[in-house]
Structure 1
C-alpha cells in the first residue's frame, strides 16, 4: 500500500464492495520479478488483476474495466462519452504531471536515499520540488477552480488517482495542502467519503509521515 496506483485500485474495490482476493506483492524482496508474477504482468509492476482468467495490467485500465464490468454507480466512470472524455482528460494529464512530479519528489527525497544511503543535493531536491509545486498549483487553480471534485460535482476514478498521488510527498515531509485551500478541502472531502477504507489503506503512509517534519497527518490518526 505504499504504491499510489495500488491504493487507488483498492479504494475503488472496497468502496464498491467488489468481491476480491487481495494478494500482496513484496517488492522489497523481488516478488514482482518471479516467473510466477511474470505470467500475470511481464512488465513486473503492480497493480494487476486476474478476473476469472482475464488479466488487466495498469491501474487506469483496471478501474475503467471494473467500471464497465461490475455493478458500480455510474458517477465513477459514466457511460456518457462526453463525461468520460472529461475524466480521461485528467487521467491523460496526470501521467506527466501529478503522477510524475509527486512520485519523483518522493523518490528523490525519500525512497532513493533510503535504498542507497546517499543524500541527494539540495539543488536536485529543490528542482523536483519546484516541478511538483507547479503541478499542485495547477490542481488548485485549474482542476479544482470551481468544482468540489476534479471533474465536476461528483467523485470519479480521477479523484482516487489524484488524491493517492498527493498523499505520497507527505512521506518526504511535504504538505501538498500548504496555501492551497481548494486542494485541502478536496482531500478532506475524498477522505471522508472513502472512510474507513481511506485511513486503512493509508496506514503505512501516515506512519511514515508522522516522522517527516512538515507533513500532514489526520487529527484522529495515532502517532507512532
Structure 2
C-alpha cells in the first residue's frame, strides 16, 4: 500500500501537511480522523500513532508522527523544490528557527484563541471567563507583532524571497483564530499582504479547499454528552 496521511482539516498542522502534499503532487491516500468525534481515541488509530494525534503518516510499514517531522520526510523523500526547505545551511537554519519558535508561541495562542472564543462556548457548552479570553487575545497580538518584526520584516516571506515550510505552517496556524472571528489581518497590512502572497504561491483554490472545514467550524453542532466530558477533561489546559 502507498503513502497514507491521517488528517483532520480542522487541525492546523494537518492543513499544512495536506497543502504541502497536494501542492507538490505527492500521491497519498487520505485517512480522515475526526477529532471532534473522538476518532483519535480509537484502538485502530492508536496502532498507527500511539500518541493519538494527527497528522500521522504511514508509508508501507513505516509510521511517523508530528507535523514538522512529516513535512520534512515528505520534502526529502519526494525531492520537493528547494525553496520549501533549502539546502543552503543558513537559509535552512532560518526555516528551522521559525519552526522551533512557533510551536510554543504562535501555535499555542492561536489554538487557545479559537477554542476559547468559539469551540468551548459553542461546541462544549462551557463558558470562558472574559478575562481569560482577553489575556489570550493580548498574547496573540504580541505574537503577531513578533511574527512581523522578527520573521517577516521587509521581505516577501518569513525566511526570504520565496515561500518555505515556515510560511505554510504559519498561515495554517493563523487561520485558526480567523475562523473564530479574530481580526488577525485587518489592522496589519504587512501581514495581510504576506497572506495574499502565501495564498497565491500555494494556489487560492487549494488554500480554500484546505480551510473550508475550519471556516465553517462555527456551524458545528454541540458535542454529545459522553464525548463532551471526555474532551473537556482533555482540553482544560486551553483555558489557562
- Tell me the TM-score normalized by structure 2: 0.84
Q: 1:209 to 1:34 in 2, by over 3 A?
A: closer
Secondary structure of 2:92's partner? helix
CA distance in 2, matches of 1:188, 1:53: 39
Deviation sequence 1:91-141 (CA, Å, 0-9, x none): 000011110111111111212222331221211110000000000111122
1:155 is aligned to 163
Query: Alignment partner for residue 205 of structure 1, among 211, 214, 228?
Result: 214
1:138 is aligned to 146
Q: Does 1:176 align with 2:184?
A: yes
CA distance in 2, matches of 1:169, 1:147: 24
Q: Does 1:46 align with 2:54?
A: yes
2:228 is aligned to none
CA distance in 2, matches of 1:207, 1:34: 25
Q: 1:133 to 1:209 in 2, by over 3 A?
A: farther
Secondary structure of 2:31's partner? coil
CA distance in 1, matches of 2:113, 2:20: 26
Query: Alignment partner for residue 85 of structure 2, among 73, 77, 80?
Result: 77
Deviation sequence 1:166-219 (CA, Å, 0-9, x none): 111012211211221111011111112212211111112333479xxxxxxxxx
**Are the aligned partners of 1:170 and 1:209 in contact in 2 as well (CA < 8 Å)?**
no
CA distance in 1, matches of 2:108, 2:178: 15
Secondary structure of 2:30's partner? coil
* Aligned Cα root-mean-square deviation (Å): 1.6
Unmatched tracts of structure 2, length 5 or more: 1-8, 220-240
Q: 1:179 to 1:152 in 2, by over 3 A?
A: same
- Tell me the TM-score normalized by structure 1: 0.89
